[in-house]
Amino acid sequence: MAITTTSIGHIRLTVTDIDRSRQFYESVFDWQVLIELPEKADSATREALSFLFGGVIYDLGGTLVGLRPVASDRFDEDRAGLDHLAFRLGGKSEIDDAAAHLDSLGIPHEPVKDIGPSYILEFRDPDNIALELTAPK
């Protein structure tokens, strides 16, 4: 019997600098923090929240995205593991608005591309993780 899934529950990205990555993701996506380890947490709180690994978790309406500060190198999509992470938008105008938003933040990105059934906008986070915004035609 095969395993049947209905959606992605969560994704955790390993990052080199949690403060830099938080600033990036929160400014690009305006994500709100669901859970984080308080700066002055006592040992009981640290133990209870050990699953955070010193990072943070965001709730994207059912799918959780976490940042975990443990990486010591930069992302490379040509190694085994993740190639890129794509987030769905509603349409072309949202992709164009996203490109303008990235420009306003000084974040380099590729031009919006028409790939047939959809549009995509590619860019990278501070650890070189390949990110994509996609919207149907």
Whichever domain contains 18, its CATH number is 3.30.720.120
Q: How many other β-carbons are positioned within 10 Å of the β-carbon of residue 110?
A: 12
- How many domains would you assign to the chain? 2
18-76 confidence digits (pLDDT tens): 999 999 999 999 999 999 988 888 999 989 988 888 899 999 998 999 999 886 788 88
pTM of the full structure: 0.89
Whichever domain contains 90, its CATH number is 3.10.180.10
Query: Among residues 72, 89, 120, which one ends one of the domains?
Result: 72
Between the two ends of the chain, the Cα-to-Cα distance in Å is 36
CA atoms within 13 A on the CB side of 76: 6
Boundaries of domain holding 106? 77-137
